[in-house]
Amino acid sequence: MRQVSDKGCATYTEIMQILGLDPSLMSGTFNYHLKELIDAGLIERTNGTYRITELGERALILVDHVSRDARIDKYGVLFAVLSMSPRKEYHLFMVQMGWITGLLWFIHSVEWSSLGHATGSIAFWLSIFSLVCSSALTVASIARMLAILRNYHLGLSVMVFLSSNWFFIRSPNRNRFGLVLVLTLGTYLMAATTVAATYAGSPGLLSSAWCLQACATASLATLLVALLAYAKKQADALEVSEIERE
């Protein structure tokens, strides 16, 4: 299962070679265990190749914990993560990104309000509006996140989910969500830099340097939205696949 997961997919012959078996010989023991994995829904066979399933990835996570002699699910977090449907996981990830972005936005809005107060009334009121929006986003995201996690009876261990690292437990979405996190922070920092530069007056509004910076921010935002849409599509497909398997 580990080799198939790492490779993405493997043929019958490749799996036997990985295990050190002669592909020219039929192994009843190998065939039996392979059939058991397929029947259990841990591996699936498509057009002659074998792939690890979502359930199989979850099983490997548990195996990794056992192999490291770790205290299994000390705070109930592993159980909560593995119990989430793909859509629920995606939604939880999104509200987490919401509170992280909202908190950063709030901090910068406080700074912008002081700059706006010094530069003019319109800029000041825009910064106040930004402060209200960032506060609403932060509070709403945390409230929604805690509402989701409350269903798993985690107690104080919900604090683990206040970080952005919990999704690294889930190997099926590790790379995609990691990239989303990087793009989210990159887009926000680029936008914050553009706004701060506008308040400072350097580079000047609508100058070539300012337009270039704004275009870079818009490009990152577009890429982020596209990646989020793809992640949601994949989460929906995984959930449909799990429902059909059941």
Asked if residue 116 and residue 33 are part of one domain, the reply reads no
59 falls in which pLDDT band (50, 70, 90)? confident
Segment 190-218 mean pLDDT: 73
Question: Does the pLDDT value for residue 131 go beyond 50?
Answer: yes
Same domain? 130 vs 201: yes
Q: What is the pLDDT of residue 171?
A: 41
Domain count, the chain: 2
- What is the rounded CA–CA span in Å between residue 187 and residue 55? 34
Residue 215 sits in the same domain as residue 98: yes
Residue 94 and residue 196 share a domain: yes
d(CA 112, CA 123): 8
- In contact, 238 and 172? CB cutoff 8 Å: yes
pLDDT band at 157 (very low <50, low <70, confident <90, very high): low
Contacts of 25 (CB under 8 A, 6+ apart): none
3 state DSSP class of 46: strand
Let me know if residue 62 belongs to a domain.
no
pLDDT of 72 > 60? The answer is no
48 with 97, same domain: the answer is: no
What is the residue range of 32's domain? 2-52
Same domain as 146, residue 206: yes
The predicted pLDDT at position 24 comes to 67
- Do residues 140 and 210 share a domain? yes
Same domain, residue pair 97 and 183:
yes
Give pLDDT, residue 140: 92
pLDDT band at 111 (very low <50, low <70, confident <90, very high): confident
Looking at the fold, whether 110 and 217 belong to one and the same domain comes out as yes
User: Please, what is the average pLDDT of the chain?
Assistant: 75
47 & 129 share domain: no
Choice between 64 and 131, residue whose per-residue pLDDT is larger = 131
What b/e readout covers 123-146, taking b as 16+ CB neighbours within 10 angstroms? bbebbeebbeebeebbeebbebbe
With 70 as the cut, is the pLDDT of residue 9 above it?
yes
Q: Residue 106 and residue 130: Cα distance in Å, rounded?
A: 8
Whole-number percent of the chain with pLDDT over 70: 71
Asked if pLDDT for residue 40 goes beyond 60, the answer is yes
Domain contains 80: no
